[in-house]
Chains A and B, each alone.
Chain A
Amino acid sequence: MRRSIAAGGLFAAGSLMPVSSTPANQAAGQSTTHTQAETRVPATVVDGKVVQPRRELSVLQKTSILVVGGGPAGTAAAFSAKRLGVDVTLVERYGYLGGLASGGLVLGIFPLYDRDKKQVIFGIGEELMKKLDVLKFGIIDRNKAPVYPTIDAEAFKYVLADMLLDSGITAYLDCWGVDAIVDAKGAVKGAVFESKSGRQAILADIVIDASGDGDIYAAAGAAFEKVKTNIGLISRIGNIDEIDMAVGRGSEDSEHPATGKPGEGRPSKGRVNDLNGHAGNSTPAPHVNWLNMKGPVGDALDVADLTAMELKHRRGTWGNVEKLRQKPGNEQVYLAETAPQLGVRLSRLLDGVKKLTVQDIRSGAKFKDVIGYSGAYANAPEFQIPYGSLVPSKVENVLAAGRCISADFEVADITRLIPVCWVTGQAAGLAAALCIQDKCKPRNVSVTKLQNLLKQQGAYLG
């Protein structure tokens, strides 16, 4: 192995043994007899109702900071907190890190820039992009404002795994956070997980909910707003070289395909013209474009909706690629992959100490507890994000990070984007570490200290 594993580092999922001692030392085909040491009673039917018996959960881990979710926000939180020497545990539902930025194929890193094309998001996100920079086919269009960088999903998974293995963070993958653990006063004490190892508990002083859907704070009883919006499924298409070259690398330049001249002729009203534009955006991988999908409106917290989307989107994407192949020059285009994760945009939005509203961003509100910026996005200018939008209004010991922070729908539609999740994740991680160091609650964290720490870690606060 190229890298040495830090003691107490990554654990194989479902096992308490460190990674270094598991796969290599076990012979394949070895069978062990299950001794039924733990008595597990399945759910039973009582009076026609399915009942799960009350039972004690094994405690998998005791930690200072528990980060639920290994996407952009969760990884940023874990890395930044661990750097302050605090004990950090990270739990991720899928088998890789990066969340929607890797598994969701949201490869475009926007919004990074303000109206004047100046980059306003740095910190952990900038570090990650720098690491991608040195990789071949890792990232394109860096520092080419207003064109946004595009990353490669596999390169990003590699960078995160590499950093995590070296970080000393305890991580559990393929492990789904399903419930909160609260004390008698309702303060969060950890979270419950479901994995191949069964239902287990992780106890923690502070929990960072970077699950995207706010699963943990919702389970803990924090107030939230539930929203429904479009759910899509991103895909990558290959052999799309020619088209890609015509449009330029991920730029927003547009050439009309029919005439070769820019946008000639009056579009017809109320009719969809025959779509023969340059589908998708180029990625670091040669001859490969990523193809975004808006998708219909759905409930991201409803398994029936999610299932329908997973199936229909894959059928629809295949059909669209077939249509694409009918255009001259596109005969060899193929569907490289559909994203492993659905493109869920928003589900739960926290009721935080401060709810970031569209009025705030229109009026260019300045916050004393600013923890970072979002770049300008479409007609919204760059705006400040306050620490208050990460802190639940009532429940203690939990912080939100990523797309499920406290913002109204229109703002959340921007704060859900990848680089902004890095910003809120890093701030949540440092705030949690401060809670441990200063022995205080998240709502009482010294904003000055937090801002100083953020600046030390290279974040941009204006």
Chain B
Amino acid sequence: MTFLRRIPRRLIQLTCFVGAVVLVWPVLPWAIAPRVFVQASPFVALSSSIATRSISLGLVFAVIVAVASSFKKRWFCLYLCPTGFLLENASHMGLRKSRWWSKCPPVGRYVAILTLVGAVAGYPVLLWMDPLCIFSSPFAVNKATNPISVILVCLGLGVLVAGTLVFGMLWCVRICPLSGMQDMLFALRKALWNKLKTSVAPQKFGVARRVFFAGAGGALLAVWARRLGAARFRKSDTLLRPPGAVPEDRFAGLCIRCNNCVHACPSKIIRPDTGHEAGLAGFGAPIIRYESDYKYCLETCNACTQVCPTGALTPLDLQQKNKYIIGEALVDNNLCLTALGKKECDACEHSCPYDAVKITWDEEQYIAYPVVNDKCTGCGACEVVCPTTPVRAIRVWTQKPS
């Protein structure tokens, strides 16, 4: 009988799993499908709406899930969550099938509180622990241009699956912030319900204290990350974020490392940062690198700005995107073939989609060299065609106020 009762749940789970893959792949001719998928997590929708002070489409769905899970405990986990489905199946194959983790504290609730409080400070600290975000990330693997990027995009889900094989369902039941949030909603509903019926018993002091500390921790972490994490990015002069990126002090927090933008980029120029560019706070967040042959930020594309579920990349239409400043192209005349009289080269001038580079004759110096004007968006078209090796004479650098 138990077995029969489970079948419909498995079916729904399987359907949702397939649906998730279809959305993220994306098989549908619906460009924003990956964004909608990650926003389907109420944790993401709520935190990012708070952090960006805006109402996103996902909030509607988030409210439905929130209401449902306040009546049926962990409704989302049991039926909808594709990560949960994956891990549940992994746990059947795993080493530990006992419920040993029931002794562990409910870390997920504190993670959720911490993140929500952080979101109020504009920096949803641990939002990258969201299960849908973790599920979405490995799909970017086909746009990863080097082994490190492959590891980075697969890291989250890989760790969860490996962890589940070894430790059982620890993540889902105790650590996942989305399940923690649902637990809290359920408890809250129950508490309200009981209050209406009878006078409620005062809550245990211990729980309230933990909630307080988690909230305070979130606020502190948010402030720390915005101050110090932001300060660290200055160590790199070549940090380039995808178009539409919010200011750097908020970007690393708002970005949840779902790698949707990496996945969406047809030029394969977006990759997760190893922490080299923007420090620890920026680990795994997307950066732009103009390395592959003749690939740059195309003037015909705004895909990455359409798929960001949290607003770390503001949605831009094509016209807006083509005005977004990714960085600024600067020329090192001591490497430039034209300035040095080495070659008849005007590759940068001809490649520029915005007419921003002109090989200019300098009557004083009696040489010619590329001059970049204000139309430059840092799209990298000039950088990828510049023939000097190993370092290109014209490169895109982080924009600095002149």
A residues near B, CB below 8 A? 106, 108, 110, 230, 252-254, 256-258, 262-263, 266-270, 272-273, 275-281, 291-297, 316-317, 319-320, 378-380, 410, 413, 417
Contact = CB atoms under 8 A, between A and B. Distances in A.
Interface residues of B, number: 45
B393 to A, nearest CB: 7
Nearest to B373: A270
Contact of B361 (A263, A277, A296, A410): A296
A108 B341 CA distance: 12
B355 interface: no
B361 A272 contact: no
A281 B367 CA distance: 15
B366 A319 contact: yes
Given A277-B340, A295-B361, 4 more contacts: A277-B333, A278-B340, A316-B366, A378-B385
A90 B80 CA distance: 83
B360 to A, nearest CB: 9
Contact of B393 (A254, A257, A272, A319): A254
B342 A281 contact: yes
A275 B347 contact: no
Interface in B345-394: 345-347, 350-351, 359, 361-363, 365-369, 371-372, 385, 387-393
Interface in B327-353: 328, 330-347, 350-351
A3 to B, nearest CB: 36
Given A254-B391, A378-B350, A272 B332 contact: no
Interface in B176-208: none
B389 A252 contact: yes
Given A269-B328, A275-B367, A295-B368, A254 B388 contact: yes
A192 B97 CA distance: 100
A292 B334 CA distance: 15
Interface string B74-118: 000000000000000000000000000000000000000000000
A277 B335 contact: yes
B392 A108 contact: no
A230 B361 contact: yes
Contacts of A110: 343-344
A292 B342 contact: yes
B391 A379 contact: no
B340 A279 contact: yes
A228 to B, nearest CB: 13
A263 B390 CA distance: 9
A379 B332 CA distance: 20
B402 A263 contact: no
B224 interface: no
17 contacts: A253-B390, A254-B390, A254-B391, A266-B330, A268-B330, A272-B365, A277-B340, A279-B340, A295-B368, A317-B366, A319-B366, A378-B345, A378-B346, A378-B387, A379-B351, A410-B350, A417-B344
A305 to B, nearest CB: 14
A292 B351 CA distance: 21
The residue in B331, B337, B391 that gathers the most chain A C-beta atoms within 10 A of its C-beta is: B391
Contact of B341 (A254, A268, A293): A293
Contacts of B283: none
Nearest to B361: A296
A380 B366 CA distance: 28
A200 to B, nearest CB: 36
B324 interface: no
B294 interface: yes
Given A256-B391, A277-B334, A281-B342, A294 B402 contact: no
B334 A262 contact: no
B397 interface: yes
B350 A380 contact: yes
Contact of A272 (B330, B344, B351, B369): B369
A242 to B, nearest CB: 15
A256 B334 CA distance: 7
A456 B346 CA distance: 35
A287 B392 CA distance: 26
B291 interface: no
Contacts of B347: 378-379
B351 A254 contact: no
Nearest to A263: B391
Contacts of B389: 252-254
Contacts of B340: 275, 277-280
Given A108-B343, A254-B389, A275 B365 contact: yes
B237 interface: yes
Nearest to B368: A294
A273 B371 CA distance: 12
Contacts of A319: 366
Nearest to A290: B341
A277 B338 CA distance: 11
